[in-house]
Structure 1
């Protein structure tokens, strides 16, 4: 109830009263109250499905309305990982805004995949298998390697302390890789997001995987391995099929493809 109230921007007691009002109006409970929390009843689950269908219908209407505009203008919500935005994308966004001053960018920094029907218009994300409901372009391969400070050069990697994204990141891919490469007692730090990983490695907390585009230019970091195929992924720009012809979406996707395409050697670590 507290989390629902926070999302609605109201206090706990107001959320409680509103739920009670709805239940009284339909004369059925929507939730069973337990000590551990609220559990939806059959009526509650049916209401969630009905609300989801209404939400999808409104989202589809908004996408169709956006596609009828002939000039690149309006709000454009973009989701992308925070590390990618701060290290690569922000200067690209600035140039895009100068070219299209009537498009207002709304950035949602998130490691997880947001719903492109409701939560965002365009996603820039690392993925090996984008959802079939989305359309877009593959921009580059994100190559990763092991890095550390000079203090770790020449030491057996398996015996060094390690810093790694935790199992909740990328389906546990990084955690599984680290477990296969290091001794069982050498995990010094795990982080539940890629953001902050470079800072931890650069501070000397241990060695760990980093994308080539982020680490190769850092003077305090040393690359300790070649590209690690188990960690490579594709960088995509994606949108919903209903939005792909909207002028503001098309302008942004074309612009990003050109800009990021020019940076592909750096992103993939070619020649570094």
Structure 2
């Protein structure tokens, strides 16, 4: 024998041995008896041994046939089980979902969504990795990343889940002295989020299309939106934050939104996952679930 035998022929041989003959095995497999006999004969030729002694009444395993059947039955059963499980995982959400998102978003938004997702799909468990770093999904074997803002070109696949507005927010004391247009912001202490490519440069667009680009000065820099919000609430300065982070604080009067007549570029919320021909059912299910969950949450916030 110059190589491994054909796996399907091993299956057919085991089926004949278990059924006790070619006729019964062919009926179980839905094959023609002649075709089944031919495949087993080819397996014997590949191995260079006789596996079955054929008589007019029955088929009997040879010593080599018994050895082969004992050796391959367990692995074939394990392989069949694994293939059935893979087929089930491809059609129904199950297994472990490894997902990553920025720390503040993971805690404030993604965690409750995952809890609700598990109620609907109890066969899915998850590993949640909170990180502001852009992790390598393939190397780290991560199924899905939630990323925000504007995506760079990538070989990864992405689905847009939602979008959010960016609001200029200030503590009430600073807000009371706000100027008539966004250029006033350049004179104020600014809390910059250094995760952004240009955390001190913002372009505002008025309703009539007039654009103003403002370069913020002074203040401090931090590496977390949660810290930005905490510093603004403490009166350390002003900043830009996603609407979903601050709309409740604004509604309660703890923060003030400035220049609501001017807009900043909206940013997206994306599900990013490795490219491939087949997307696992657990990933497809969570993307659809999370998109609907975000839409419902946004509707409740506006109500």
The TM-score normalised by the length of structure 1 is 0.64
How many pairs were matched up?
Answer: 200
- Superposed, which structure 2 residues align to 1:1-272 within 5 Å? 68=87, 69-70=89-90, 71-119=92-140, 120-155=142-177, 156=179, 157-166=185-194, 169-171=195-197, 173-177=198-202, 181=214, 184=217, 187-218=218-249, 219=252, 220-226=254-260, 229-242=263-276, 245-264=279-298
Distance 1:196 1:65 in 2: 48
User: Could you report, residue by residue, the CA deviation over 1:95-131 in whole angstroms, capped at 9, with x for unpaired residues?
Assistant: 1111122212111112232222122210111142354
Cα pair 1:121 1:240 within 8 Å, conserved: yes
- Judged with a 3 Å threshold, the aligned counterparts in structure 2 of structure 1 residues 226 and 158 are, in CA distance, closer, same or farther, namely same
SS of the aligned residue for 1:217 comes to: helix
Greater radius of gyration (CA): 2
The TM-score normalised by the length of structure 2 is 0.58
Cα pair 1:126 1:236 within 8 Å, conserved: yes
SS of the aligned residue for 1:137 comes to: strand
* CA-CA distance at 1:139 after TM superposition: 1.6
Cα pair 2:98 2:126 within 8 Å, conserved: yes
* CA-CA distance at 1:266 after TM superposition: 7.0
- Judged with a 3 Å threshold, the aligned counterparts in structure 2 of structure 1 residues 227 and 250 are, in CA distance, closer, same or farther, namely farther
Q: Which runs of 5+ in 1 are unaligned?
A: 1-63
- Judged with a 3 Å threshold, the aligned counterparts in structure 2 of structure 1 residues 131 and 181 are, in CA distance, closer, same or farther, namely closer
- Judged with a 3 Å threshold, the aligned counterparts in structure 2 of structure 1 residues 152 and 170 are, in CA distance, closer, same or farther, namely same
* CA-CA distance at 1:152 after TM superposition: 1.0
Q: Which runs of 5+ in 2 are unaligned?
A: 1-82, 180-184, 204-212
